Amino acid sequence: MSLRFNAINNLSSSQEVTVDNPTRITAIFGESVFTVKTAREFLSDEAYKSLVGSIRAGQKIDRAMANQIASGIRSWAEGKGVSHFTHWFQPLTGTTAEKHDSFFTIKSDGTPIEQFEGDALIQQEPDASSFPSGGLRATFEARGYTAWDPSSPAFIMEIGNGKTLCIPTIFVSYTGESLDYKAPLLKALEALNKSAVDVCNYFDRNVTRVTATLGWEQEYFVIDEGLYNARPDLVMCGRTVYGQSSAKGQQLEDHYFGSIPERIYAFMRDYENEGYKLGIPLRTRHNEVAPAQYECAPIFEEVSVGVDHNSLLMDVMDRVARRHKLRVLLHEKPFAGINGSGKHNNWSMATDTGVNLLAPGKTPKTNLMFLTFFVNTIKAVHDYADVLRASIASAPNDHRLGANEAPPAIISVFIGEYLTKVLNELKERVTAKMDETDESMLKIDIHKSIPELLLDNTDRNRTSPFAFTGNKFEFRAVGSSANCANAMTVLNTIMAETLRKFKSEVDAHIEKGDKKEIAIMHVLRQYIVASEKVLFEGDGYSEAWQKEAEKRGLPNVKTTPLALDAMVTDKAKHLFENNDVYTHGELEARHEIELEKYIKKVQIESRIMGELATSHVLPAAIRYQNLLTNNIRGLKESGLKESAFANQKQILEKISEHINMTSDLVEKMIEARKICNNISDTRTKAIAYQSQVKDAFFDDIRYHVDKIELLVDDREWYLPKYRELLFLR
């Protein structure tokens, strides 16, 4: 029996995995995390102080202290049955990486002991040569090392019965270039902190720290493991390269917020419990629009922690799914014809005085502070739309952006009718000969219930890639499989840059004698005028918007190889250099890595398409072709008229035509790939893969293969069909 029918057979006998219900979530929340509270228990006063100083203020931890902290972490972990530790990091492959070492060691006199020293906590040298480096390590130093990031707490990862202590680290080359997602993110957050505190101090002298906040919404598909295993395309590239749409898709809209199927529900509770233990504050779960599609979201956290938690959870979900004989698909577009998956990044900034800088205030003064950060965000997105677009560019996301359910590749900002009015009012009220004693103009009256007003509004506009949703912006173009760090590094850097410029412009006005508030209003007006064209309230999916955006001169780069150009323009180099986030060399290296990733992904997909076509689709089609041929021959021999087998002939003609086309196109695609592989310049090669392989062949080949699927005898078809992948569980 083929894997397909085997998997379908096994479905009915599949057993639901029982999942323990915690009595209360708070009873398990964070139990596998070395929190500050745990540190208090396991560390001496001085070690505790040193750790907290490092977490809160970035102070250095000396060697003696590191030894103490390491040994405290070890006794905590051993108490929980842990024997191994690993540095845990987020290399540019997009997944997380670990290399386990045991606490076990042998002393010079031969005594076996368990130990975890400060050195092992602080630094490790994984064999880095197989991680992407974009040529950085070749040019500088062949080695890379991981370095402890005390701002992110250590945790215990459970895999089956095994438990491993994970130390969150950054990954850098010996000469200091960052080789991961985390190091530049931390730098961007520091840059934002500096600029934002300066601007906050116009309004409140007590603010000494600003942190960016992130609440991600993770969309994903879940399918049966047996069916998954019978689809080599899902196994190899995370998406189906072929598949005729099922009769029923999402048109009935009966899946969204529908009741969660039991088997999936057990899986959800299971990964949520694992997440809670790891301190991931999951809050929301529901069905999404497409069949077999779901979403989860945590309570928002500081960006760096939020990023770690998302990476960690993607890993946990994958592992837990296997326990349930399910597979979770984090790919942006696993199935054609139905919605893809995104990862909305809800983002804001908060002060150490407890103020959300994107929440409208209650007094004219706090309102002006809100408007300042609000308008600066719009200006930042306007000025650096291309860099923001590059931050979310990837081969899988290309399948989703601009398709009819996802935000377009045009970066625009939605702020809702009400705030549009407020900005217009501000623009009109601030005039050159504004009387500076006239305080009334400062009293921009903002309705107290903007969040509620907007919630209403934004729920109706899901088509904007960057939407204000009451007290935060929601960056919706991020792909479901992406590490949020990339988007967050860029967003926080462009914000840092914009706020810094804003401050220097306001200061210039003040020096000329303007009152502070008046100076701020002037610059805000100027920013509103300068960035207005990025504001768009209409339907982002519409044809009309594409045209309108072009008229406005907004960039609309549809493919990854070209979108990535924005990473290495002079503008981008200055931006990242000014804010100490990336050196030119690092940007060039990252650009190279992203292009290479793109090439490899398209290459793998193309190979799988070829393989499946020749080893699966064509044999099935030919078997059916033979059946028809024999049938027609038999009917003819029995003396029937032509008309008696006219239909069979018609089917035979069709199937023969699709067989020929598929086979021809696959041959041509292989030729095209060979030509691409001979191109040495990475960017040219990526563009060639996109235009000469992907665009030139993927849809065409798929068209014929999907027709064949529709024509051939169901029993001859060994790949699980869409209706099975999406509806059987």
Q: How far is the CB of 377 from ligand ADP (least distance, A)?
A: 12
Q: Which CB sits closer to ligand ADP, 399 or 472?
A: 472
**Interacting positions 50-69 with ligand ADP (CB under 6 A):** none
Among 152, 394, 469, 559, which residue sits at the site for ligand ADP (rule: CB under 6 A)?
469
Q: CB within 8 A of 682, min separation 6: which ones?
A: 592, 595, 596, 599
657 with 651: CB under 8 angstroms?
no
How many of the chain's residues bind ligand ADP (CB under 6 A)? 15
370 with 360: CB under 8 angstroms?
yes
Q: Which CB sits closer to ligand ADP, 272 or 706?
A: 272
| Stretch of 29-37, 141-149, 291-299, 371-379 contacting ligand ADP, by CB under 6 A | 291-299
DSSP run (H or E) holding 650: helix 646-677
Q: How far is the CB of 295 from ligand ADP (least distance, A)?
A: 8
DSSP run (H or E) holding 695: none
CA distances 243 to 234, 292, 621, 722, Å, are: 11, 16, 15, 6
Question: Which residue's entry shows tokens 């035979």?
Answer: 652
Q: Which CB sits closer to ligand ADP, 188 or 688?
A: 188
| Stretch of 62-70, 467-475, 489-497, 606-614 contacting ligand ADP, by CB under 6 A | 467-475
CA distances 134 to 124, 125, 544, 579, 593, Å, are: 21, 19, 39, 22, 5
CA 341-344-350 angle, 5° bins: 165
Q: Is 153 in the site for ligand ADP (CB under 6 A)?
A: no
Q: Is 471 in the site for ligand ADP (CB under 6 A)?
A: yes
Q: How far is the CB of 470 from ligand ADP (least distance, A)?
A: 7
Q: How far is the CB of 503 from ligand ADP (least distance, A)?
A: 23
Q: Is 297 in the site for ligand ADP (CB under 6 A)?
A: yes
Among 472, 658, 673, 702, which residue sits at the site for ligand ADP (rule: CB under 6 A)?
472
Q: CB within 8 A of 585, min separation 6: which ones?
A: 136, 139, 177
Burial-class residue 2 by CB neighbours within 10 Å (0-12, 13-18, 19+): middle
**Interacting positions 196-235 with ligand ADP (CB under 6 A):** 213-215, 217
Q: Is 72 in the site for ligand ADP (CB under 6 A)?
A: no
Q: Which CB sits closer to ligand ADP, 300 or 373?
A: 300
**Interacting positions 300-339 with ligand ADP (CB under 6 A):** 300
Q: Which CB sits closer to ligand ADP, 278 or 549?
A: 278
DSSP run (H or E) holding 474: strand 473-475
- Name the token pair of 69: 């902290």
Cross-strand partners of 343:
218
Q: Which CB sits closer to ligand ADP, 171 or 300?
A: 300
350 with 215: CB under 8 angstroms?
no
* Position with the least CB separation from ligand ADP: 215
DSSP codes joined into one string, 316-358? HHHHHHHHTTEEEE--S-SSTTS---BEEEEEEEEETTS-BTT
Q: Is 468 in the site for ligand ADP (CB under 6 A)?
A: no
CA distance 344 to 414: 14
Q: Is 367 in the site for ligand ADP (CB under 6 A)?
A: no
Q: How far is the CB of 256 from ligand ADP (least distance, A)?
A: 12
Among 6, 35, 356, 420, which residue sits at the site for ligand ADP (rule: CB under 6 A)?
356
CA distance 398 to 391: 13
Q: How far is the CB of 290 from ligand ADP (least distance, A)?
A: 16
| Stretch of 238-246, 388-396, 414-422, 466-474 contacting ligand ADP, by CB under 6 A | 466-474
Among 133, 244, 287, 346, which residue sits at the site for ligand ADP (rule: CB under 6 A)?
346
Q: Is 342 in the site for ligand ADP (CB under 6 A)?
A: no
CA distance 12 to 722: 18
CA distance 684 to 253: 42
What is the DSSP secondary structure assignment for residue 232, as one 8-state letter?
H
Q: Is 492 in the site for ligand ADP (CB under 6 A)?
A: no
Q: Which string of b and e fits 375-410 if b means at least 16 CB within 10 Å? A: bbbbbbbbbbbbbbbbbbbbbbbbbbbbbebbbbbb
Q: Is 298 in the site for ligand ADP (CB under 6 A)?
A: yes
Q: How far is the CB of 403 from ligand ADP (least distance, A)?
A: 21
| Binding interface with ligand ADP (CB under 6 A) | 213-215, 217, 297-300, 346-348, 356, 469, 471-472
